[in-house]
Structure 1
């Protein structure tokens, strides 16, 4: 049963592939062209009174031409399909990169909202150690794995690099201040101000990234 089922599935796949190859030929224009060719061939035979050997020679010649044209059509169709597959793969790769940059921008926005409320240094430290720090570190790691040369335009690459730089700056600021073991009010104010600036830069560059990429986000169902 398994062998028969496998053969049946293989036959279905072959039929589907064959249909994909011959589908471009099954058009009204091609059918009309074939009928016109048959009519012209029959008319020529009647007018020039061709014998069987001459008819065979002409049929062979037309068959050779048709075979060459068919091989070209199949090859051209395969090339077009391969090119379309490459375009689809490139779109999928960019969609993944877009999601990484979007996630980083959203995490920075969450940080911006929190520090805009000017939390006590202890509260900020607890939030950073429990959630924010890991989220931003993971976002930065993902950003650094994106191949910048595949992002497309110059503007998109610049926006991506600016976002990555601001993320690294934020993490560096926090690491520096945490290494001091204690926050004073002036240091906390400076830290929050610098992080707020970097988060604002990320938001600005994210808008540029979206605008220049021209990527359409999938609609939520």
Structure 2
């Protein structure tokens, strides 16, 4: 038995040293188990946080790649219809072909998963880009059809150039909205 002010073991009087050692070991084991559970919990939370950060980085990189490609296509679109090109020449056909390639490239926005976008503003911007691309493709198809049908190509070219100039500006606006909404840090 313990004597003096320290005559208790685990706040219980009357325990012999062997019993006291058993109680200390039991409480120590419980403490170690709780510590192990706590370490596992903290590590799991850190792993989840890391996975979320990696997923967010991948999402932002995918959107940034789409925006960069869209900006490049917007520049190409703005330069797609030089006024000096006669609508009756092979150069005009080349301009139409180039514009069609740009429109095809802009179709990548249809592949951007809506659930990867952070908010309604970004979702709306992507939907607007896709809608505009469909409209611009319609104008492109009309230009091809009008050329094939022998319509007044100067007027067709003028309408096409106006539509493409408008398209380029709309695309820039939508890309800016997408960039500010989806890529700028909160």
TM bucket normalised to smaller: 0.7 to 0.9
Q: What residue number does 2:64 align with?
A: 98
Higher helix share: 1
Q: What residue number does 1:28 align with?
A: none
Q: Deviations over 1:72-92 (max 9, x none)?
A: 221221232123213312320
Q: What residue number does 1:126 align with?
A: 94
**Unaligned residue ranges in structure 2 (runs of 5+):** 10-16
Higher relative contact order (CA 8 A, sep 6+): 2
**Unaligned residue ranges in structure 1 (runs of 5+):** 1-45, 217-221
- The equivalent position to 1:136 in structure 2, one of 103, 106, 119, is 103
TM-score under structure 2 length normalisation: 0.79
Q: What residue number does 1:194 align with?
A: 163
Partner-residue secondary structure (3-state), 2:80 = helix
Provide the C-alpha distance between the structure 2 equivalents of 1:132 and 1:190, rounded to a whole number of angstroms.
14
Deviates more, 1:49-58 or 1:115-124: 115-124
**Displacement of 1:116 after TM fit?**
5.7
Q: How many residue pairs were aligned? A: 169
Partner-residue secondary structure (3-state), 1:47 = coil
Partner-residue secondary structure (3-state), 1:115 = coil
Provide the C-alpha distance between the structure 1 equivalents of 2:92 and 2:180, rounded to a whole number of angstroms.
33
Larger Rg: 2
Q: Deviations over 1:23-53 (max 9, x none)?
A: xxxxxxxxxxxxxxxxxxxxxxx82364122
Provide the C-alpha distance between the structure 2 equivalents of 1:68 and 1:163, rounded to a whole number of angstroms.
55
Query: Where has structure 1 moved over 6 Å in runs of 4 or more?
Result: none
The RMSD of aligned alpha carbons is 2.3
Partner-residue secondary structure (3-state), 2:79 = helix
